[in-house]
């Protein structure tokens, strides 16, 4: 049997080979792990030109048509999750590349969003750093979230989970999305608001919609301008959903109290990005889905898919 080459991309944590049993493929697959992001599409093309199988981690590496054109040996592209907006599915189909995804047992993004809210309002991480640095006693007077209004943009699976967590903390919850109805809100036990009402009334706005051409720029400069000066914005969805330039402006001018951001228009976030210089922004490096539990499932199912592919069995979770 001809041995195939498999590239595991963007394994920032160096966990891919640890959390899944790749040994079951060792008789037919040579595996190479890439722990750092490629600096350009050309860099990706040069590194991956000889691989028949690629395992992509979410949208960390984009696969536009132009990259598929530079990967003549590619036969199987696996992605964590069951959707990946960074893959040109039509280009893959045209090139005869099979694409399959992986599932989640649960999604840890909503708890992370609540963690960002707690950091913004109680300064846990900030005060922890001060304590370890040997600095004086308390400097940060927090904000109680019980009784505050959380505005959720997007009341799907994640948004509904977020609503439940917020209510457990005693928060009032309102929601909006382009297709949301008062009836759906009532069924979820939250209040319905128009987009304008949500941004004007919420003490904290949290975003839980999928990135698409329709949702790109969904949170506009005008929406941010409606927010209270004491309000916070939290984004654990995707960076381009928010007008990032407008968000930077309102934060620099302190027209809102702050933001908790796990996602950005360009990732990894450049080291000289202005967000890094603001003391009213809590930044995390796209941690929403990044847990050992989730990665164990993703990489484990990738191994299963590769095994099925090499045995010419039906491929589980096939996307294209």
Provide the annotated active-site residues: 238, 267, 286
| Vertex 131: Cα angle to 125 and 133 (nearest 5) | 105
Sequence-distant (≥ 6) Cβ neighbours of residue 143 within 8 angstroms:
121, 122
H helix intervals, 24-103: 41-48, 65-68, 89-94
Count of CB atoms situated within 10 Å of the CB of 24: 13
Name the residue among 312, 289, 303, 315 with its Cα closest to residue 57.
Answer: 289
Q: Are 228 and 199 in contact (CB under 8 A)?
A: no
CB 188 within 8 A of CB 180: no
Closest CA to 118 of 206, 243, 228, 240: 206
**Nearest Cα residue to 282 out of 249, 233, 211:** 233
Q: Helix, strand, coil proportions of the chain in percent (round to 5)? A: 35, 15, 45
Q: Cα separation of 311 and 251, whole Å?
A: 54
Q: Alpha carbon of 11 to those of 47, 61, 73, 160, 301: distances in Å?
A: 15, 11, 22, 30, 16
Q: How many Å separate Cα 174 from the centre of its chain?
A: 23
Neighbours of 266 (CB within 10 A): 10
């Amino acid at each position: 049997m001809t041995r195939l080459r498999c590239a595991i991309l963007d394994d920032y944590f160096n966990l891919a080979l640890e959390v899944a049993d790749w040994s079951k493929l060792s008789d037919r697959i040579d595996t190479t792990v890439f722990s750092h992001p490629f600096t350009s599409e050309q860099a990706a093309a040069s590194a991956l030109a000889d691989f028949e199988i690629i395992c992509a981690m979410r949208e960390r590496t984009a696969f536009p048509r132009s990259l598929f054109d530079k990967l003549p040996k590619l036969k199987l592209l696996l992605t964590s999750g069951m959707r990946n907006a960074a893959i040109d599915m039509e280009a893959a189909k045209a090139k005869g590349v099979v694409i399959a995804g992986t599932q989640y047992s649960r999604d840890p993004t909503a708890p992370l969003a609540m963690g960002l809210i707690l950091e913004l309002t109680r300064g846990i991480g900030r005060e922890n750093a001060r304590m370890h640095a040997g600095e004086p006693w308390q400097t940060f007077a927090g904000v109680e979230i019980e009784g505050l209004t959380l505005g959720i943009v997007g009341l799907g699976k994640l948004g509904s989970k977020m609503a439940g967590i917020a209510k457990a903390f005693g928060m009032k919850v309102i929601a909006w999305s382009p297709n949301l109805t008062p009836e759906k809100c009532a069924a979820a036990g939250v209040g319905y608001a128009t987009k304008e009402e949500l941004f004007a009334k919420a003490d904290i706005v949290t975003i839980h919609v999928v990135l698409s051409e329709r949702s790109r720029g969904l949170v506009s400069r005008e929406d941010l301008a409606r927010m209270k000066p004491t309000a916070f914005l939290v984004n654990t969805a995707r960076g381009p959903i928010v007008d990032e330039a407008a968000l930077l402006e309102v934060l620099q001018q302190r027209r809102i109290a702050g933001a908790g951001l796990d996602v950005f228009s360009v990732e990894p976030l450049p080291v000289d990005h202005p967000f890094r210089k603001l003391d009213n922004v809590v930044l995390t490096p796209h941690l929403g889905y990044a847990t050992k539990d989730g990665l164990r499932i993703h990489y484990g199912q990738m191994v299963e898919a590769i095994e099925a592919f090499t045995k010419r069995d039906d491929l589980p979770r096939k996307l294209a």
